[in-house]
Amino acid sequence: MLEAFFRKLEQRDVLNSDERAVLTAAFDPVPKSYPAGSDLVTEGSRPSSSTLVLSGFTTRYRLLEDGKRQITAVHVPGDFVDLPSFLLKVMDHAVGALSPVTVATVPHANLRRITEGYPHLGRMLWFMTLLDSSILREWVVGMGRRTAPEHLAHFICEMVVRLRIAGLADLSFDLPLTQMELGDALGLSAVHINRTLQELRSEHLFTWEGQRIEVLDWDRLKSRARFDPLYLHLEREPR
């Protein structure tokens, strides 16, 4: 059930079997499911447990008064969607399902017990939230200082690497994002996403049909995006 999560942890640090057992036991035994488009967590709520994605894709987003939306994260299997709520108490953004998803929940009380009895695990959970902010920083760089094609190419590079860690992609993978959602993530209009996508496709960097992406030339895609995976902190995998 937690394979993708363990893969993600083990990409960065050693996890002994005791710790695996403690983590596994901390989760509620029965997974939950949500349909595409539904909200797992709403802005302003005060969750009493945190949620880990087992399958499917979710997104953090904020809605502005004028109806505009900004997506601040896309989560894949193995990612926590709302670990911050363990300490931040009130959700300052919502989390929605981009596809049908199944998730596992951990009561905050159990997380607290982990930080008290298993400091190393506590640090690993802390690490997961730091990784999220590292990714967020890279998004800021993309929004502020990269052109639309670079930014979009960068996003795809990131998804390739993250999905590879989750064991879900090599150079071909499903990405259940509409062009509108992609625009909301990259801070661009859907129309411009459409044209930028065409530009990159015409450079034969990847194909994107339906929800399926196939990377045709990983090296050229990386250099088009000026992608440097340092910020993903894959310590145990040589760059």
Partner DNA sequence: CGTTATGTTGATTCAGATCAAGAGCGGTGG
Partner DNA sequence: CCACCGCTCTTGATCTGAATCAACATAACG
- The binding site for DNA (CB under 7 A) comprises 147-149, 178-180, 183, 187-192, 194-198, 210
Among residues 67 and 238, whose Cβ is nearest to DNA?
67
Among positions 7, 20, 69, 220, the unique one binding a second copy when judged by CB under 8 A: 69
Residue 3 identity: E
Shortest gap between Cβ of 139 and DNA (angstroms)? 15
Q: Checking phi first, is residue 45 left (phi over 0); if not, alpha (psi -120 to 50) or beta?
A: beta
Query: Is 212 among the residues that bind a second copy (CB under 8 A)?
Result: no
Does the CA dihedral 212-218-220-224 come out positive or negative? Answer: positive
> Rounded to whole angstroms, how far apart are CA atoms 55 and 172?
17
Instruction: Give the other-Cβ count within 10 Å of 144's Cβ.
Output: 9
Q: Rg of the Cα trace of the chain?
A: 18
> Rounded to whole angstroms, how far apart are CA atoms 232 and 229?
5
Residue 171 identity: L
Q: Which of residues 86-105 bind a second copy (CB under 8 A)?
A: 87-90, 92-93
Shortest gap between Cβ of 146 and DNA (angstroms)? 8
Among positions 29, 65, 202, 238, the unique one binding a second copy when judged by CB under 8 A: 65
Query: Is 119 among the residues that bind a second copy (CB under 8 A)?
Result: yes
Residue 185 DSSP one-character state? H
Tokens of 141: 């760089």
Residues that bind a second copy (CB under 8 A): 44, 60, 62, 64-65, 68-70, 72, 84, 87-90, 92-93, 112, 115-116, 119, 122-123, 126-127, 129-134, 136-137, 139-141, 143-146, 184, 186-187, 226, 230-231, 233, 235
